[in-house]
Amino acid sequence: MSVGAAAGASGEQGLKAERVADQAKSRRRSTKAEQRAETMEQILDEAENLFSKHGLHGVTLKDVAKRVGVHHTLLNYYFADKKTLFDAVFARRAVVTSTRRMEALDVYDRATAGKPTIEGALHAFLDTDLDLYIHGGEGWKNYGALSAQVANTPEWGAEMMDSHFDPVVLRLIDLLKKAMPDCAAEDIFWGYHFVTGALMVTLARTGRIDKLSGGICRSEDFEAIKARMAAFMAAGFRQICSAKSV
């Protein structure tokens, strides 16, 4: 479950479809199980790449197949249909980031012996995630952009986020409640709402902040986010909670 594991076969940026096809051919010399795993992973990688850029409806199975260098019906063989493929793409890394953050929160909770700080909890939650995108390679970056889209998709976005992230998020909120025992649950939830919104635009990496700031800030610069976000949000929490409890 290392970062590299799920990032796996995704050193693909400059590869043309043909080259990928060649690789597919030469890869044939492996066992069936390996073949299956590798092909599926390649499909997931390319689908992730395209979905992250054009969305579910903006990508055709043929587009994905072409990039992988296989016939497009093979995608139906491995994944029942397009939406199933999309779900698989999302789930693959969602479970990784979800469990990692859960662990980080548990560790932090134990380390502080049940006396967490707002900032500490947020750091555990955010940094663990951001590190994945910083060190996980192209695949994780694509997944991040995909998440941002999913989180803002009214149709099935909330459902999809819920099913993967509710446990971690509730764990975070649990810690925040401990850190702010006098704060109304309502305020904590709205605070989390702001946090997740800020995180999602970050992951979207649309490049908007680059132009807006005239190059001072860069969308890709997750380190800058890491350095600021937890402190920023913690101050926000303190503010809206103190307004009522004091």
Residue numbers at the binding site for DNA (CB under 7 A): 24, 28-29, 31-33, 35-36, 39, 59-63, 70-74, 76-77, 81-82
| Residue 99 binding: pick among DNA, its own copies, none (C-beta 5-8 Å cut-off by kind) | none
DSSP conformational letter for 218: -
| Residue 32 binding: pick among its own copies, DNA, none (C-beta 5-8 Å cut-off by kind) | DNA
Nearest to DNA of 42, 98 (CB atom): 42
Element (H, E) at 116: none
| Helix, strand counts (H, E) of the chain | 12, 0
| Cα–Cα dist 233/197, whole Å | 11
Question: 72-83 burial, b for 16+ CB within 10 Å, e for fewer?
Answer: eebbeeebeebe
| Cα–Cα dist 193/3, whole Å | 27
The distance of closest approach from Cβ of residue 145 to its own copies in the complex, given in angstroms and rounded to an integer, is: 6
* Among 10, 97, 128, 149, contact with its own copies (rule: CB under 8 A): 149
| Residue 136 DSSP SS3 | coil
| Residue 123 binding: pick among DNA, its own copies, none (C-beta 5-8 Å cut-off by kind) | none
| Cα–Cα dist 208/112, whole Å | 38
Nearest to DNA of 32, 110 (CB atom): 32
The distance of closest approach from Cβ of residue 89 to DNA in the complex, given in angstroms and rounded to an integer, is: 14
Residues 124/104, Cβ–Cβ less than 8 Å: yes
- Cα end-to-end distance, the chain, whole Å: 45
Phi, psi of 179 (to 5 degrees): -75, -25
| Residue 236 binding: pick among its own copies, DNA, none (C-beta 5-8 Å cut-off by kind) | its own copies
Nearest residue to 109 via CA among 179, 165, 166: 179
Token pair, residue 207, equals 């490049």
Residues 166-185 that bind its own copies (CB under 8 A): 166, 169-170, 185
The distance of closest approach from Cβ of residue 226 to its own copies in the complex, given in angstroms and rounded to an integer, is: 11
| Residue 74 binding: pick among its own copies, DNA, none (C-beta 5-8 Å cut-off by kind) | DNA
* Among 71, 106, 208, 223, contact with its own copies (rule: CB under 8 A): 208
Q: How many residues does the chain have?
A: 246
List of residues contacting its own copies (CB under 8 A): 52-58, 145, 148-149, 151-155, 157-158, 161-162, 166, 169-170, 185-187, 189-194, 196-202, 204-209, 211-213, 216-217, 224-225, 228-229, 231-240, 243
